Each structure stands twice: as C-alpha cells, then as structure tokens.
Amino acid sequence: MTPEPAEPRGARRRWRLPVAAAVGLALAAGAVFYLGGGYDRWQDGRSLAGLCHGSVDAAEVEDLLGVDRVRGKDVNGPDGLASCSLDNADNPGNGYLDVRIARGEAGVVQALHTLGRDRPDLATSMVMPLGHGHRGVLDLKGRSDSAAVVALDCRDRGEEGLLVTVRTVPANGKYVHDDPARRARFARVAARAAQGAARVWGCTAPSGPEITEVPADDRYVKVADGAAGGTCAGLPGITGESPADPGAPIEDCFLYAGQDTPRFRLGAYYPPFAEFLPAVADYPVTGPAGAKDDVAWATAGCPGGATALFTVSTVFDGDRVGAPDPALEKEALRTFATRSAQRHGCSAPHLP
C-alpha cells in the first residue's frame, strides 16, 4: 500500500496557529468572565432560580437589603411547603431575608414567635396592618429587624390556610424603620411572597394596587388623651395605636401610665391566631370570657364559625411592669373588643 503523503510542515503550523489562538481567546474570555464577577453572578442566578417556588423577587430584596448581590437557599419541609433565605452574597450575614411558608398550628406558632407574641407581656412589639386588601401585619420591631405575616385562604381546595412569614435584617445602616421607601419595599416583598405562595398552592390572595407607602411605626409615639382614631379609638388617656384595618388578623393598642411608659396592652387576634395564642403565650384563657393572673380576655363569634380573641394585660417595658388595675382593664377591653369585632364583621363580644 502506498503511504499517504505527509502533511507539509508549514501546513501543520498554519492549522495549529488558529486553534491555539481560539483556545487562548476562550481561556482569556473565561478569565475575564470569572474575574469580572460573571461567575459569581451565574452562581447567584442558579441559587435564586425558583426560590421558594418563585415567590420571591430577588431584585426587590437586593434593594431592600441595600446590597448589590444576593444568594439564595431553598429548604423544603416535610409537609411539602417551603422555606428559603436570601443573604448578602458579598458579605454573608450582613443583610438577609427569610421566608417561611407553612400551614396549621406549625405555621401559627412560627408566625407568633417571629412577631414576638410568645411573650405578649413585652411592650416592645406592635403590629400595623399590611393593608391594600391583604390579611397581614407588619412589625418593624426596631431600627433594622422587621417581620411580616400574611394569612392566605385555601378553603377552595378544602385545606387549611397558609401563613407566609417574612423576616429581614438589612445591611448595616440600612434601617427599615427610618426609611419610608424601605418600609414600603419590605411590605411589597412580603405581599409578593404571599401572592407567589397562593399561586403555587392554589390559595386566595388579593391582587390590589402595589404598596407604595407604609405608615411609620408609631409604637413610641404617644397619642394625646381623646385623640385616638385607630385601634385605640374611644379609649381615654394617652395611647399608642396603629391604623385600624378590617383585614388585619392581629391588632394592638397600648394604654400609657402618664407620659412615660405603656401600662396595658390590648390585643385582638383573629383566625388562625386566636386558637393557638393562649398556648403559645401561656395565657390562662378558659371559656369565652374571664380574668386571671393579670390577664383579662373576651371572645366573639365571626363569619364562618370562627372565633376572635381579645386580651388585656400589664406589660413590661424593659424597666418595669405596669401596676394592675382590673376595673380599668376590663372597661378598656370592652371598648377595644367591641369596636374591633364590629370592624371585622363579628358578633358582640362575650366580656368578663
């Protein structure tokens, strides 16, 4: 057999040069991609894809946390629902957001814990309605740490409702409490997470206008005697209140002792919180109404056979506990519970 002629040496050189150039360009492009942050952004994108079943807007979270990049982690629980977190990709731990989606008792306990309701005697936690048709509340808690809970109705599927609980701590100095735009952004993140969860699990969530404004947290703002017009409407003395909203599943009102400190805390709890609050907070609630251990309570029947729970108790402000005044507490509870029940379409309360 006649051997094939060898390829000329120059031809081999001409063939290898373009290949080497192509490989060099590919390596250079890869280096630019890696060193220029492309690889990190690709990793971010992989971690964020479908996060909490697509119920979280990563761009909105970046703005909320005040960071350039976030990276996410999804953790599905044994009940098939979702938990996820987003963290500051450039400085982990300095700015994060957690989302928990659960139903039934587990969801309620988780939400009450996040809102600080496992210790309702503390005067440092006050909720305000999420508004815009959402059955939810916000608790800005302090200068940075903020929480939101949104309740979703899943009766069309014959299932218990969902609770979407969101907690965030922005990056250093990016305070939710002090910044109107960041307050509204946090409310939008919570509302969109709830809408995404409703879509995935076939529940009902409002589709009202986008949230563009959230009132300032007024737990430290005292309302003058006779000036209350929200959750403390009709109560005498100096109060601390939030806007009244029939969609809020939790409502608060504080009664002050003089000018200095909250003395009593009034709370209204609607489904799904009313059923589980006494056990979570160790409240001595037995029967439709009563008073025991510096706590008085009332209940009311609500649409769909549900029950609302109203409480009043002395509070601890980190320095002292308000002195009990059973007569004043019961009268305040009467006014507060009656107005709240009317607002939510419930019956006249059973009172102690």
Instruction: Give pLDDT, residue 230.
Output: 93
DSSP 86: E
Q: What would the two tokens of residue 155 be?
A: 């009766």
Instruction: Count Cβ neighbours within 10 Å for each residue of 110-144 and write b for 16 or more, e otherwise.
Output: bbbebbbbeebbebbbbbbbbbbebbbbbbbbeeb
Instruction: Report the SS3 class of residue 333.
Output: helix
Token pair recorded at residue 245: 């909203």
With tokens 């703002």, the residue in question is 221
- pLDDT recorded at residue 42: 33
Q: What are phi and psi of 30, to 5 degrees?
A: -65, -40
pLDDT of residue 32: 41
Q: Which of 121-130, 147-156, 175-184, 333-342 has the lowest mean pLDDT?
A: 121-130
pTM value is 0.83
Catalogue all structural domains in the chain, each as residue range(s) with its CATH number: 50-216 (3.40.1000), 218-352 (no CATH)
294's tokens: 């510096």
Closest CA to 97 of 147, 169, 180: 169
Alpha-carbon distance of 256 to 125, in angstroms, equals: 15
Question: Which neighbouring-strand residues pair with 256?
Answer: 262
**Could you give the CA distance from residue 33 to residue 259 in angstroms, rounded to a whole number?**
61
Residues, the chain: 352
Is 140:177 a contact under the CB 8 Å cutoff? yes
- 225-260 burial, b if ≥16 CB within 10 A, otherwise e? eeebebbbbebebbbbbbebbebbbbbbbbbbbeee
The predicted-structure confidence for 151-175, as pLDDT tens digits, reads as follows 998 876 667 788 999 999 888 877 7
Per-residue pLDDT of 32-90, as tens digits, reads 433 444 434 433 343 455 677 777 888 888 888 888 888 888 876 656 577 888 888 88
- What span, in angstroms and rounded, lies between the C-alpha atoms of 316 and 305? 34
